[in-house]
Amino acid sequence: MARFPRSIRGRLTTIAILVVAAVLAAGSSLTLSTVPDNLYGVVHSRVELAVRRVAAEARAGDLPTVLTPPARIHFLRVMSSDGRIIASTPATALQDAHLTEFRPGAPDTITTVERTAANGSEPEIHYLVQAVTVETPDGPVTVYGASSLSDVDRALAWIDLFVFVGSPIVLVIVGAITWAAVGSALRPVERISAELAEITGRDISRRVPVPDTGDEINALARTTNHTLDRLERSAETQRRFVADASHELRSPVSALRTQLEVANAYPDETDWKATGARTLAAADRLATIIDELLMLARLDAGAVAPRRVVDICRMVKDQARDRECGRVPIFLRLCTTAPVCGSPVQLDRLLTNLLDNATRHAATRIEVEVSVHQGQVVVTVTDDGDGIAPEDRDRVFERFTRLESARAKDKGGSGLGLPLSREIVAAHGGSLTVADHHPGARFVAVIPLYEGV
């Protein structure tokens, strides 16, 4: 058994042919089962009406010698029981002997037969002949009537021609038209496929052609181009991310290597305690950058860290306790409890990054507020430093972006803390923004409140 075509063009063509074939089959079956009977029925009724009219005249004794046939009645004749012609239509070239060679059955019962007879030099014609025997004042007579079936035969021949010859031709035409129409409709798809096949990871700046049709293929092409735009931006971001990450990682590695090379070259003149402290600080910075890069990579990949109910207020208290001996004091304004469903590791990194950022820029104090509002936990971290200009409030969340003020205050930053913080909050269904505040900067993190039992 042949398999159904796998191409859209082949499937649609096959479906169109099958649908039309089913319609033609149903229509042909209905036509062949009803039309012939209807056509024969019309002729039968016409002849029967003429025969019964003449029979009524014969029964009443008012039968003329020459009978006038109605329209489409080609022959009428009344014959006695001994074969004499009592009345008949006017003489014609019709060879009628063959039409009256049979006798009807019971009296007053119409008998119908089909006969062929020649009409002059013309070929034989197919007739429907009816006869009935009736009693008259002069004895029993038989009334004959006939009508040509030529029109019926021609109509049935045309019907047979259409059903058995025309239907296959119609199916071929439908298949060819469907094949051509679907091929024309799918031609833009072929061009899109060809263009996509030539687009590689090294060059995704190319775009597929957009047909000016306004249909689904037009929407497909535009969606494909939008997807390619996003892929190009993602690839560019990835390349920039790799380049920036390489640069940021190179700095602490180079510093660490330089210090060790100097210490190794001049061992007697090296303050090993100070060198150890500096190399340890460089190693800590390197570890921090690697941890942030790994966490960003997991968030970009959509990995979901193990989650449980975490009290943000408790986490803030723990952070503040660990920073009691820091450069600037931290003032807390906390609600009773602020439970959220999240990753403890990621949320702790969020608070660490926000507080580290505030510590670097604060002049005299840091304020942390945690509140619950309309099903949201709102964490606000405020410092009294130089603040962030409105035009830079989105830039600070770009990876490896460090403002001039940040570079001046801390040369060891990586520019990953705030972008990672925003990614963490987004992964928890919230948002992280910079709010208006003077003096200093205010970061507002909003995370959905856990309301489960």
Question: Which residue is associated with the tokens 């992964």?
Answer: 427
C-alpha to C-alpha distance for 95 and 65, rounded to whole angstroms:
20
Instruction: Identify whether the C-beta of residue 63 lies closer than 8 Å to the C-beta of residue 51.
Output: no
C-alpha to C-alpha distance for 426 and 424, rounded to whole angstroms:
5
C-alpha to C-alpha distance for 424 and 194, rounded to whole angstroms:
40
Given this model, what pLDDT does residue 169 score? Answer: 94
CATH class name, domain 216-297: mainly alpha
Given this model, what pLDDT does residue 406 score? Answer: 54
C-alpha to C-alpha distance for 275 and 73, rounded to whole angstroms:
129
Q: Determine how β-strand 330-334 pairs with β-strand 366-373.
A: parallel
In the chain, which residues fall in CATH 3.30.565.10? 305-448
- End-to-end alpha carbon distance in the chain: 60
C-alpha to C-alpha distance for 420 and 426, rounded to whole angstroms:
10
Q: What is the pLDDT along the chain (453 residues), one digit of tens a residue?
A: 456 667 888 888 999 999 999 999 999 999 999 999 999 999 999 999 999 999 999 999 888 989 988 998 988 999 998 888 899 988 765 667 778 888 888 888 999 999 888 766 667 888 999 999 999 988 999 999 999 999 999 999 999 999 999 999 999 999 999 999 988 888 888 888 888 877 766 677 778 888 877 778 888 888 888 888 888 777 777 777 677 667 666 767 777 788 788 888 888 777 778 878 877 877 777 777 777 777 777 777 676 788 899 999 999 999 999 888 888 999 999 999 999 999 999 999 899 999 988 998 898 999 999 999 889 999 999 999 888 888 888 888 887 776 665 555 555 556 778 888 998 999 899 999 999 888 889 999 999 999 874
Q: For 305-448, CATH number?
A: 3.30.565.10
CA 50 → CA 77, 79, 113, 143, distances in Å?
11, 16, 16, 10
C-alpha to C-alpha distance for 258 and 254, rounded to whole angstroms:
6
Q: How much is the pTM?
A: 0.53
Given this model, what pLDDT does residue 155 score? Answer: 93
Cβ-based neighbours of 447, under 8 Å, separated by 6 or more? 312, 340, 342, 376, 377, 379, 425, 428, 429, 430
**How many Cα atoms within 13 Å fall on the side-chain side of residue 214?**
0
In the chain, which residues fall in CATH 3.30.450? 12-156
C-alpha to C-alpha distance for 313 and 323, rounded to whole angstroms:
16
Dig out the tokens for 299 from the structure.
């968030």
- For the beta sheet containing 139-148, the strands, ordered from the edge strand earlier in sequence to the opposite edge, are 85-88, 75-80, 139-148, 122-136, 111-119
Given this model, what pLDDT does residue 125 score? Answer: 86
In the chain, which residues fall in CATH 1.10.287.130? 216-297
Dig out the tokens for 162 from the structure.
């259409």
Cα Rg of the chain (Å, integer): 51
Write the Ramachandran bin of 392: left for phi over 0, alpha for psi from -120 to 50, otherwise beta: alpha
Domain 12-156 has CATH 3.30.450: yes
Given this model, what pLDDT does residue 1 score? Answer: 43
C-alpha to C-alpha distance for 151 and 336, rounded to whole angstroms:
101
Instruction: Identify whether the C-beta of residue 366 lies closer than 8 Å to the C-beta of residue 358.
Output: yes
Containing 419, the helix (H) or strand (E) segment is helix 417-427
**How many Cα atoms within 13 Å fall on the side-chain side of residue 154?**
4
Given this model, what pLDDT does residue 354 score? Answer: 92
Dig out the tokens for 171 from the structure.
């199916």
Given this model, what pLDDT does residue 453 score? Answer: 46
DSSP string computed for 314-379: HHHHHHHHHTTTSSS-EEEEE-S--EEEE-HHHHHHHHHHHHHHHHHH-SS-EEEEEEEETTEEEE
DSSP type of residue 305: P
